Structure 1
């Protein structure tokens, strides 16, 4: 969960100062800040449970790409605004279902993080849904770009619901809620869902990460690795 929010938060921060409108620039920066705040909670808990004296920063900045366990969707490049918002929409729809499930987790600290995060992610999903609908059912050009973004990113959806031993919840059980919101939104956006849910097979292991994550981490981790004793 922490790796998902860390990687996507970093991706969104790449838009800072480059978004197509000031309002979008601010909105994406705020979403990125929310996600990095959630990262601090998840990775802080992971470091504490690991019991090896690490901090959340250690897990964020001093692991290599093959040690990350994020969904492949979140590490996909921004490309253009349409791809960025479609990626956000698909992740938000999964993320909100996952957090709702984790609010009932038997571990009190996991449940508490989920309860805090679900409030932010409810807004994230509302905003990304509205944007996808507005662009999908907008001009001919915006519709074309959003359909292309959906076609590019939809094959990464299947991984979200493929269970492995690291999952905190029954991820397959999240699919009905995800599908209900996504399909209603795509219909309103006049977009067509692609056929294939999978771009790959297997569990969420580091060997399956694309080259995109390695390139992104090189930028994100360069300063902490160059100055490992610095205090922030």
Structure 2
């Protein structure tokens, strides 16, 4: 299922990125919060990938070009502001998408209905930190503005139609833009004016084209499994 692979890969890759904060988060409480979000996403990924095939093989034995995640989720953590901005952009999209899927009777309705509450928490967490950092010190605001600008060009790909998901993608895009812009403005940040789609924007992850950092991340994620094929715990 094309859609299950796309949504599963989104969740899997972002889960790994957030897991990279273990031992490195700015405060212990935030390390726990990011780890919990990562585990939520990993749980979603396992359900979605199991609809396609063996979840371990799909996660650990596919080559880079076989992954169908959007390029946004594979972007490096950067500083804490960068991670929070990436999470704000993605969790807002994911909540709006899951709400639509949960209200229908398609193959993802049950998963979406269960996951939408945890995704709403992910969004609330990201919004809280966006407001705290954006309306904080001069340094924190500058870092948040740089992050919102840098990641903006990756957001257009979120709303490219995915085979197997029958929703109004244009309306989803509009709702996302309204929600994210409102949060940025409340945080005294300027919503980026750069392109989100087209020649100057990023986005071909759904077609298996990924950015350079993804290859390094994938090698790290798959190293243990590939080094000990067939091993069991």
TM-score (normalizing by structure 1) = 0.91
- Whether contact under 8 Å (2:154, 2:203) holds in the other structure is no
Aligned to 1:225: 226
Aligned to 1:104: 103
How do 1:117-136 and structure 2 match up within 5 A?
117-136=115-134
Alignment match of 1:35 (pick from 25, 32, 41): 41
Aligned to 1:200: 202
Q: Structure 1: how far apart are the matches of 2:120 and 2:188?
A: 23
Q: Secondary structure at the match of 2:25?
A: coil
- Whether contact under 8 Å (1:92, 1:125) holds in the other structure is yes
When structure 1 is superposed on structure 2, of 222-231 and 71-80 the one drifting more is 222-231
Aligned to 1:149: 147
Q: Secondary structure at the match of 1:204?
A: helix
Q: Structure 2: how far apart are the matches of 1:170 and 1:57?
A: 32
Deviation for aligned residue 1:197: 1.3
Describe the superposition over 1:17-46 as per-residue Cα deviations: whole angstroms up to 9, x where unpaired.
100111111110111011101111110112
Deviation for aligned residue 1:183: 1.3
Aligned to 2:3: none
CA RMSD of aligned residues (A): 1.6
- Whether contact under 8 Å (1:85, 1:131) holds in the other structure is yes
Query: Which ranges of structure 1 fall in alignment gaps of 5 or more residues?
Result: 48-54
When structure 1 is superposed on structure 2, of 195-204 and 32-41 the one drifting more is 195-204
The count of aligned residue pairs is 223
Aligned to 1:214: 215
Describe the superposition over 1:126-160 as per-residue Cα deviations: whole angstroms up to 9, x where unpaired.
11001001100100000000000001000111111
Bigger relative contact order (CA 8 A; separation at least 6): 2
Describe the superposition over 1:50-83 as per-residue Cα deviations: whole angstroms up to 9, x where unpaired.
xxxxx11111111111011101000000111010
- Whether contact under 8 Å (1:164, 1:203) holds in the other structure is no
Q: Structure 1: how far apart are the matches of 2:232 and 2:170?
A: 41
Q: Secondary structure at the match of 1:4?
A: helix
Query: Which ranges of structure 2 fall in alignment gaps of 5 or more residues?
Result: 1-6
